[in-house]
Amino acid sequence: MTDEQTIDSQTAVAGAQDAAANAQFNMQRIYTKDISFEAPNTPQVFQEQGQLEMKMNLGQRVDSMGEGLHEVILTVTVTGLINEKTAYLCEVQQAGIFQVSGMTEQQEAGVINVLCPNTLYPYARASVAQLVSAAGFPPVTLQPISFEQVYAQRMQEAQQQQAAAGNAE
C-alpha cells in the first residue's frame, strides 16, 4: 500500500511539473481603451473652501478572444468632491491583451484576476494623475492595490452566496 501511494504521489508531482512547464502567460499589448474627464462645477469649484474628498471605484471585465487570448479591461473611476459638490470625475479604462494557456481553470482565473490587473493598474494610476493635474486640481496619488486580496475576497463572497443559496433550497 505504501508503494502505491508513493507511485501515485510521484505521478501527481510529475503531472504538476508538466502542467507548470506548459503554462504560458504573455502580455501581447497594453493600451488605453477609454478616458473620460469631467469637471462640471468649474470654475466655481476652485473658489470653494474645504477639503477635497476622493472616492475610487474599480471594475474589471474580461473578454475571451479565443485560443487562450483574453482582453482584460481595468476601469478606475475617481471622483473628487468638495463640500459634496463634484469637483471632477475621472474614468480610465486601461486594457491589455494577454495570452494565458496551459493552466488549470483555477490557475487561469487567478492569473486573469490578479496578475493582469496588477500589470494594468500602474498605467491607469499614471493616467488618472496626469488628467487630474492637467485640469488644475491637486495631484492625485492612488495607493497600490492588492489584487490578490481583492480576488480572494470576491471568491469568499461567491462561496458564501452559494452556501446561502444551498441552505435556502
Supply the pTM of this predicted model. 0.80
Q: Consecutive 10-residue runs of the chain (169 residues): their mean pLDDT? A: 45 45 88 97 91 94 92 97 94 97 90 95 96 94 92 87 77
Nearest to 75 by CA among 110, 39, 123, 40: 123
pLDDT (0 to 100) of residue 168: 67
Using DSSP, state whether 147 is helix, strand or coil: helix
| Contacts (Cβ under 8 Å, ≥6 apart) of 25 | 98, 99, 100, 111, 115
Q: Parallel, antiparallel, or unpaired: how do β-strands 52-66 and 24-38 relate? A: unpaired
Angstrom distance (rounded) from CA 169 to CA 167: 5
Which DSSP helix (H) or strand (E) runs through 157? helix 147-168
What domains are defined for the chain? 21-161 (3.10.420.10)
| Tens-place pLDDT, residues 119-164 | 999 999 999 999 999 999 998 999 999 999 989 888 888 888 888 8
